[in-house]
């Protein structure tokens, strides 16, 4: 992922979280399949799509929709409260760019700290 694009994601969707390269890799493996699910925010995931205008690159599209990523961030932060780490990836899928972020949150179970990591079943 280009540094400039990662910085946009770090300053918006992943703001306040530690970047996790393992989650980034897992997100990349899923998002490159260009699934047509509705996306949105669920426990452990955030998926958004943006239309590609003209011959724009995926990176240019993400930069163009940076304000929308900020909005998605404010919505996802309600679900991702307490997120420990986050990793995102993106792919151009026909005439759209899909962005998928996975996040990990700690929770307590019987006095031990455990980690929840979203497992995507495909």
Could you tell me the CA-to-CA distances from 47 to 14, 108, 112 in Å, in that order? Answer: 13, 27, 30
Average pLDDT over residues 65-84: 69
Per-residue pLDDT reduced to its tens digit, 19-31? 889 999 999 999 9
Mean pLDDT of 54-82: 77
41: domain CATH number is 3.40.33
- 47 found inside a domain: yes
Give me the torsion for CA of 55, 71, 82, 21, rounded to 10°: 10
Mention every residue, 6+ apart, whose C-beta is less than 8 A from residue 23.
Answer: 85, 86, 87, 88, 101, 102, 103, 104, 117
What integer pLDDT is reported at residue 96 of this predicted model?
92
With respect to residue 122, please indicate whether it lies within any of the assigned structural domains. no
Quote the crossing angle between the two packed helices 66-79 and 3-11, to the nearest 10°. 50
Instruction: Tell me the pTM.
Output: 0.77
Q: Is residue 76 part of a domain?
A: yes
């Amino acid at each position: 992922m280009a540094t400039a694009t990662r910085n946009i994601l770090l300053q918006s969707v992943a703001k306040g979280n530690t970047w996790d390269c393992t989650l980034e890799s897992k997100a990349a493996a899923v998002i490159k399949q260009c699934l047509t699910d509705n996306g949105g925010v669920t426990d452990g995931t955030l998926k958004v799509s943006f239309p590609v205008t003209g011959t724009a690159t995926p990176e240019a599209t993400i930069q163009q929709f940076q304000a929308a990523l900020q909005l998605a961030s404010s919505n996802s932060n309600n679900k991702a409260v307490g997120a420990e780490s986050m990793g995102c990836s993106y792919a151009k899928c026909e005439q759209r760019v899909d962005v998928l972020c996975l996040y990990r949150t700690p929770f307590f179970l019987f006095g031990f700290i455990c980690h929840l990591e979203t497992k995507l079943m495909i």
